[in-house]
Structure 1
Amino acid sequence: MKNTPVTIKDIARSLNISISTVSRALRGMPEIHPDTRNAVLKLAEELDYQPNQLAKNLAKSRTKTIGVIVPNLSYYYFSAMLNSIEEAALQAGYSVLVCQTNESYLREITNIQNLMRSQVEGFIISLSRDTDNYEHVERLVRKNIPLVLFDRYAESINVSKVIVDNHAAAFKATEHLIENGCRRIGFLAGPTQLVLSNQRIAGYKAALEKHDLWAGDKYVFHCDYTTESAIMQTLAMMSLPQPPDGVVIISDRMAFSAMYAMNQKGIRIPDDVAIVSFNNEPVSALFSPTLTSINQPIQEMGTEAVRLLLRELDAVDENVPKETKVMETQLMVRGSSLRK
């Protein structure tokens, strides 16, 4: 059962001022003393106050703006996804305001607050690496603000999502290594709280179990999506008494760091260790050796995210059924996984 919504009357009673004063303070009227206005705004935020008329006002005077929040635009995946989202939004008559969290949970909260002040009509979000508390996202859901999550998401949040079948993709990547003669296969994963990473670990494990090669978690190492962490974890993995002869890596960016670390240690790719990763960045085909990678349909994912958001923005009924769109991936085989 939802809590009773906070009203202007509740704020006025708490501060011992008139309802009309609260109303004018919330609307930023100049005749209200700054101290009073700040007190009203502070309490309104603490009580999670949401004007009942917001949706009606936006319907009468819509901003036609979507807020997009991504972990980092220096990642190829997210910059390419943004291009797709923006193109689809523009075709629908919407503009896009973009924020990046730089993998920070606190910055993610700030981004949402800033975009709300800009009166975006809805959000498309990929959660940061550090996000393990979803109250700020759940607040959007409680306020019936249209929201679509993509790539990095939380299963507990009841919103529409656009994702790939991470389990199937990792299974495919792992089985490819097995078919190329690998028998001790490691996984360089992402942070432990990341749903996407855990789904890929499960797919990797399922493939090994199918071929009776599962050796427990000793070959699973976690990095935090930084170059330094990927290098350190790769060196730790390759220093095992029986190091892996194949490695599945959470992303191409981390794979490039892992390959650098292996080259520094004189480990030959793919002769000593074969590698498969995810995202199929354009530079993967230019690296030496070229990198085998899982391709995700980024263009289609961005278009689908916008479609799902517009479906809610244009709906008369706020209770639009939520939809999870699961996209298929493709294994792009190149030199890093083809052992002689």
Structure 2
Amino acid sequence: MASNKIKINDIARLAGVSATTVSHIFNKRDKKYRISPQTRQKVLSIAQQYSDQPHIRQCIIKANSTDTIGVIVPDMSNMFFSLFLHHLEASFRQKNIQLLITCSHYNRDVEIKVAQNLVERKVDAMIVVTSLDSDQFYVGINEHTPVLFFDRYLKDTTLPFITSEAIKSVSELIEPYAKQLDEFYFIGCDIQLTSIRARLEGFKQGLAKAGLTFKSDWLVSDDYCPNKGYQLLKMVHEKLGRLPRAIFTPSGNLLQEVLSYLVEVKVEPKHICLCSYDYNIHLDYSYYPVDAITQDYQSMAYTCVNVINKLIKFKELKSNAFLIEPQIIRHR
């Protein structure tokens, strides 16, 4: 060959077929033009020998793509994940890519199993809200199927991740109220997760900026399960003999459960200050005013699409961390 760069005509000659046939195979038109599976396999096997050349590797990837992306979330009933999935599905649909959405139910064994199932279905890439403590499992998958972490990420991971900024926004959210109070409780769960730890760090910084010294008793946390926010607030109520003067919850689910307890004990809105991460439009009509941080679902979805597109095409990412700016919505 005159050049080291192999061309479609070269692969066609080596396979004993026409260049048009190779083009149909590379562009997934082989079934439309009734090209036999044997011919397809022969062409791709020859192309694989030259997969070190980027343009050939791209052709192989396109020929083998399933136009599906696997998504793993822990809880589809969680409003945050539901809204995110709504925007994510719409964004990928515009590119004629289908999502295969699975749920881990916060169970690590289930998460590993559903991830393996997605690999067996030959998804082109995976977007994962993980509950694992290490990225080792997904680093292995990433060798053949690109993996993008969403919302939660693992410390020191080399895999790319997308999440909302939390430290600065949470600090700004609570600071004005911390200046007026002598206590502020953090009712949270799963604080070992990086996303929750960032919200806790923002909470502490907001207190410090307001001149309020954080006390360990104000951090009330446990592993998450349904209705845990209700149980944690009830425990604090019984321990103090009164309700806290101010509460921050790091997620919408926990806020909903806290509100459920407040309604049950019939506390007056003026007697408690509520702040939370994860705004929901229902808060606009809540009996209890809640200042909340709303995440930019649309930007997060678009960023996921762009990053996945680059990962599939083996394009280099300038950074593996993508932090999306949220907004504060005040009701007080």
TM-score range for the pair, normalised by the shorter chain length: 0.7 to 0.9
Taking the aligned partners of 2:307 and 2:313, their CA distance within structure 1 comes to 10
Q: Is the 8 A contact 1:295 1:330 kept in 2?
A: yes
CA 1:288–1:224: 2 relative to 1, 3 Å: farther
Residue equivalent to 1:14? none
Residue equivalent to 2:157? 157
Alignment of 1:58-97 (within 5 A): 58-97=61-100
Taking the aligned partners of 1:256 and 1:98, their CA distance within structure 2 comes to 25
CA 1:62–1:227: 2 relative to 1, 3 Å: closer
SS at match of 2:271: coil
Q: Deviations over 1:98-150 (max 9, x none)?
A: 1111111111101110000110011111113xx22433222123x15212111
Residue 325 (1) aligns with residue 326 (2): no
**What letter matches 1:260 in structure 2?**
S
* 1:248 Cα offset (Å): 0.7
Q: Is the 8 A contact 2:188 2:229 kept in 1?
A: no
* 1:246 Cα offset (Å): 0.9
* 1:290 Cα offset (Å): 4.2
Q: Is the 8 A contact 2:134 2:154 kept in 1?
A: no
Taking the aligned partners of 1:70 and 1:79, their CA distance within structure 2 comes to 9
Taking the aligned partners of 2:225 and 2:273, their CA distance within structure 1 comes to 22
Q: Which of these residues, 117, 120, 126, is aligned with residue 120 of structure 2? A: 117
Residue equivalent to 2:207? 208
Which runs of no fewer than 5 residues in structure 1 stay unpaired?
A: 1-52
Taking the aligned partners of 2:111 and 2:135, their CA distance within structure 1 comes to 10
Residue equivalent to 1:233? 232
* 1:239 Cα offset (Å): 3.6
* 1:90 Cα offset (Å): 1.7
Taking the aligned partners of 2:191 and 2:321, their CA distance within structure 1 comes to 23
* 1:226 Cα offset (Å): 3.1
TM-score, normalised relative to structure 1: 0.75
**What letter matches 1:149 in structure 2?**
F
Taking the aligned partners of 2:294 and 2:259, their CA distance within structure 1 comes to 19
**What letter matches 1:98 in structure 2?**
I
* 1:321 Cα offset (Å): 4.7
Residue equivalent to 1:135? 136
Residue equivalent to 1:46? none
Taking the aligned partners of 2:171 and 2:256, their CA distance within structure 1 comes to 21
SS at match of 2:328: strand
Q: Is the 8 A contact 1:173 1:248 kept in 2?
A: no
Residue equivalent to 1:39? none
* 1:243 Cα offset (Å): 5.3
Taking the aligned partners of 1:215 and 1:290, their CA distance within structure 2 comes to 24
The count of residues paired between Structure 1 and Structure 2 equals 277
Alignment of 1:192-203 (within 5 A): 192-203=191-202
Residue equivalent to 1:219? 218
SS at match of 1:93: coil
* 1:57 Cα offset (Å): 5.2
SS at match of 1:226: coil
Taking the aligned partners of 2:288 and 2:200, their CA distance within structure 1 comes to 25
Taking the aligned partners of 1:238 and 1:172, their CA distance within structure 2 comes to 27
Taking the aligned partners of 1:177 and 1:153, their CA distance within structure 2 comes to 30
SS at match of 2:118: helix
Q: Is the 8 A contact 2:127 2:147 kept in 1?
A: yes
Identity within the alignment, %: 18
**What letter matches 1:184 in structure 2?**
E
Q: Is the 8 A contact 1:67 1:115 kept in 2?
A: yes
**What letter matches 1:312 in structure 2?**
L
**What letter matches 1:113 in structure 2?**
Q
Q: Is the 8 A contact 1:191 1:223 kept in 2?
A: yes
Alignment of 1:259-298 (within 5 A): 259-269=259-269, 271-298=270-297
Taking the aligned partners of 1:332 and 1:295, their CA distance within structure 2 comes to 7
**What letter matches 1:154 in structure 2?**
L
**What letter matches 1:273 in structure 2?**
I
**What letter matches 2:136 in structure 1?**
E
Of the two, which has the highest radius of gyration? 2
Taking the aligned partners of 1:249 and 1:61, their CA distance within structure 2 comes to 45
Taking the aligned partners of 1:104 and 1:214, their CA distance within structure 2 comes to 36
Taking the aligned partners of 1:298 and 1:228, their CA distance within structure 2 comes to 25
Which runs of no fewer than 5 residues in structure 2 stay unpaired?
A: 1-50, 52-56
Q: Is the 8 A contact 2:188 2:254 kept in 1?
A: no
SS at match of 2:293: strand
Q: Deviations over 1:264-298 (max 9, x none)?
A: 334322x2211011211222223222432111101
Taking the aligned partners of 1:289 and 1:243, their CA distance within structure 2 comes to 14
Taking the aligned partners of 2:299 and 2:248, their CA distance within structure 1 comes to 25
